[in-house]
């Protein structure tokens, strides 16, 4: 498994597959979220509109009651209750009450009229402990509840008759209750319809309560009282039906709600109401989430990863088979190269060794048959062919190194003119002429000699009769070009001449060389920071060795080197 996971193709397929699966998953999930958002928007609009409609309908009902009160003289509790009872109040309204605004010096007259209408009418105020107590504190203004009538909600939840439960609330000063006082005072100050904030209330419901207020003006246009309709937040939306209540949950607040702690869509909107701003927050139920985000999404992930793994495994198996086939072909080529190499080495070494061995035997077996000059000539030939065999062995030793970059190279200033003279003098080459001015390179002298020997011997062996050494210089480099006027290397062979065991002179008068000279020369040149390139100008073939220029370049005069 570790071996499989190290396969770059397998890694690439797995990476692409995982990315594709992740992207597909994200796109599907984003599409689901977009659909869920649209789905939630539609239902949240219904919830919000229901809330707004409840408030609007309640204000409409209070406006009708205010008009009735303005057109009726000496209104009684019974008349008030009768009129309210005729209205089709919103189911969310707990009740409707009328708070009178009574100056302190008129409270006695107010109480005589109230007790005449409702015997036992008493001024009440909040006692600070959650209950009420008789209000006997002199004040500049009183706000007693003069009339009251329960709404549809009280008809359902209160066991007593509505009239009995209503009478108990008469006379209560709403302004004395700390939670309701700010909303009441704001409505009085605005002298306009106003909605209170949502307030926390106790009791069995443990819900938030709100109040809708509507001013009542007298014949002179003076504010005389305030109609109020309390309600519970749970009653705002009325009967929305199972299609809504089974799919979403919602809450209403008069402060900005905290974000729902969920990764799923949520819907929050501020609703501007008279005197207050409410925030409606809606979110899907667990049942709705299961429908909006089905588990089938994960099936895509599992299938996608399975397909990716299958493709990666198949690709790995195909690469293994291809690699095995390649290894077989490489072994076959290696075997052929070995046979060719052994044949070439045998031929290349046989010639100089045969000469060396034969001449040596002649000198040993028949020394008296040769004069002094002849012995000197024979020894010179032995030395030349020994040098040639030594050079072949040197190439083989370098080529035997798997990494030519590990061949040692001692870089120092190298006089290219001296190097060329030394190579020519020890290689028994024909006349070689030079052009240009030899420079000083920053290189390894032994490696430069090895390269030049290969280039010059190749030119003398396979090139034309005219061999030249061309010196050129650049701003940062110096170059030695070995040129001959022989046949050019065919264009389709030029890109292969620097490959190992490759020769551009297969066939012809000479048997092919080992094919290592140019390959080793190029690698050694690169080892020293240089290069070798071949070109043909229409008359001469040119192999040019380029090396880094030494900073203090000592120049030598140009001329023939023999």
Residue 114: give its domain's CATH number: 3.30.450.350
> What's the pLDDT score for residue 112?
92
Place 187 in a pLDDT band, splitting at 50, 70 and 90: confident
| CA 214 to chain CA mean position, Å | 58
| Domain CATH for 310 | 1.10.287.130
Domain count, the chain: 3
Q: Which helix (H) or strand (E) holds 57?
A: helix 8-70
437 and 509 part of one domain: yes
**Would 348 be classed as within a structural domain?**
yes
Q: Are 210 and 153 in contact (CB under 8 A)?
A: no
* Burial (Cβ within 10 Å: 0-12, 13-18, ≥19) of residue 364: exposed
Place 201 in a pLDDT band, splitting at 50, 70 and 90: low
> What's the pLDDT score for residue 525?
92
Place 174 in a pLDDT band, splitting at 50, 70 and 90: confident
> Is residue 442 pLDDT above 80, yes or no?
yes
Short-list 542, 443, 556, CA closest to 486: 542
**Section 395-419 average pLDDT:** 73
Task: Provide the residue range defining the domain that includes 326.
Answer: 296-394
Q: Which of 362, 394, 426 is the last residue of a domain?
A: 394
Q: What is the residue whose two structure tokens read 């498994």? A: 1
Q: Which of 291, 323, 339 is the last residue of a domain?
A: 291
286 and 239 part of one domain: yes
Query: Which segment of 70-84, 356-370, 434-448 scores lowest on mean pLDDT?
Result: 356-370
> Is residue 440 pLDDT above 90, yes or no?
yes
**Section 217-223 average pLDDT:** 84
**Would 556 be classed as within a structural domain?**
no
**Would 560 be classed as within a structural domain?**
no
Q: What percent of the chain has pLDDT over 70?
A: 78
Q: What percent of the chain has pLDDT over 90?
A: 13
429 and 344 part of one domain: no
465 and 501 part of one domain: yes
298 token code pair: 């994960």
- pLDDT, the chain, mean: 78
> Is residue 161 pLDDT above 80, yes or no?
no
**Would 358 be classed as within a structural domain?**
yes
Three-state DSSP state, 181: helix
Q: How many angstroms separate the Cα of 322 from the Cα of each of 69, 186, 313, 352, 390? A: 99, 87, 14, 45, 42
Q: Are 471 and 435 in contact (CB under 8 A)?
A: yes
523 token code pair: 């690698």
419 and 324 part of one domain: no
Rounded CA-CA distance 292/305 in Å is 24
Strand partners, 134: 124
Q: Are 408 and 442 in contact (CB under 8 A)?
A: no
**Would 405 be classed as within a structural domain?**
no
| Domain CATH for 495 | 3.30.565.10
Q: Which of 239, 260, 291 is the last residue of a domain?
A: 291
**E strand spans, 245-323:** 248-253, 267-273, 276-284
Q: What is the pLDDT of residues 286-342, one digit of tens each?
A: 888 877 777 777 777 788 788 878 777 787 778 778 888 888 887 887 777 666 666
> What's the pLDDT score for residue 167?
53
Residues whose CB is less than 8 angstroms from the CB of residue 174 and which lie 6 or more positions away in sequence, other chains included: 99, 143, 145, 180, 181, 184, 228
> Is residue 463 pLDDT above 70, yes or no?
yes
**Would 430 be classed as within a structural domain?**
yes
> What's the pLDDT score for residue 202?
59
């Amino acid at each position: 498994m570790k071996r499989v996971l190290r396969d770059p193709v397998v890694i690439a397929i797995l990476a692409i597959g995982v990315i594709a699966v992740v992207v597909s998953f994200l796109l599907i999930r984003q599409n689901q979220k977009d659909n869920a958002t649209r789905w939630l928007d539609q239902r949240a609009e219904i919830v919000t509109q229901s809330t707004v409609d409840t408030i609007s309908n309640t204000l409409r009902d209070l406006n009708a009651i205010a008009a009735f009160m303005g057109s009726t003289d000496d209104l009684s509790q019974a008349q008030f209750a009768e009129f309210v009872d005729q209205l089709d109040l919103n189911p969310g309204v707990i009740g409707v009450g009328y708070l009178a605004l009574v100056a302190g010096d008129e409270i006695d007259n107010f109480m005589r009229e109230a007790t005449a209408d409702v015997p036992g009418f008493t001024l009440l105020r909040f006692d600070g402990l959650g209950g009420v107590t008789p209000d006997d504190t002199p004040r500049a203004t009183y706000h007693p509840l003069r009339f009251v009538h329960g709404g549809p909600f009280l008809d359902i939840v209160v066991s007593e008759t509505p009239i009995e439960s209503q009478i108990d609330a008469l006379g209560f000063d709403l302004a004395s209750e700390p939670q309701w006082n700010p909303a009441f005072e704001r409505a009085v100050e605005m002298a306009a319809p106003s909605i209170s904030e949502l307030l926390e209330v106790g009791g069995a419901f443990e819900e938030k309560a709100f109040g809708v207020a509507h001013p009542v003006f007298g014949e002179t246009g003076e504010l005389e009282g305030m109609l109020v309709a309390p309600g519970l937040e749970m009653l705002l939306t009325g009967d929305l039906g199972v299609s809504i209540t089974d799919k979403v949950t919602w809450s209403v607040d008069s402060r900005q709600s905290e974000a729902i702690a969920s990764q799923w869509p949520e819907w929050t909107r501020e609703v501007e109401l008279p005197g207050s701003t409410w925030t409606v927050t809606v979110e899907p139920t667990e049942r709705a989430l299961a429908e909006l985000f089905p588990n089938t999404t994960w099936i895509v992930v599992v299938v996608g990863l399975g397909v990716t793994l299958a493709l990666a495994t198949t690709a790995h198996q195909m690469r293994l088979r291809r690699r095995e086939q390649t290894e077989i072909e490489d072994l076959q080529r290696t075997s052929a190269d070995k046979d060719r190499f052994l044949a070439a080495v045998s031929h290349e070494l046989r010639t100089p060794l045969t000469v060396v061995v034969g001449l040596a035997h002649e000198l040993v077996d028949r020394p008296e048959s040769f004069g002094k000059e002849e012995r000197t000539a024979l020894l010179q030939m032995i030395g030349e062919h020994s040098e040639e065999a030594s050079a072949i062995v040197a190439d083989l030793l370098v080529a035997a190194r798997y990494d030519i970059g590990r061949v040692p190279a001692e870089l120092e200033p190298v006089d290219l003119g001296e190097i060329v003279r030394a190579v020519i003098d020890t290689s028994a080459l024909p006349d070689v002429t030079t052009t240009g001015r030899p420079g000083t390179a920053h290189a390894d002298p032994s490696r430069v000699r090895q390269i030049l020997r290969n280039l010059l011997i190749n030119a003398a062996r396979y090139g034309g009769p005219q061999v030249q050494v061309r010196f050129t210089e650049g701003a940062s480099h110096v170059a030695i070009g070995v040129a001959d006027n022989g046949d050019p290397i065919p264009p389709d062979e030029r890109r292969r001449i620097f490959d190992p065991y490759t020769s551009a002179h297969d066939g012809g008068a000479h048997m092919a060389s080992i094919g290592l000279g140019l390959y080793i020369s190029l690698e050694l040149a690169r080892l020293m920071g240089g290069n070798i390139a071949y070109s043909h100008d229409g008359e001469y073939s040119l192999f040019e060795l380029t090396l880094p220029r030494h900073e203090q370049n000592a120049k030598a005069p140009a001329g023939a080197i023999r």
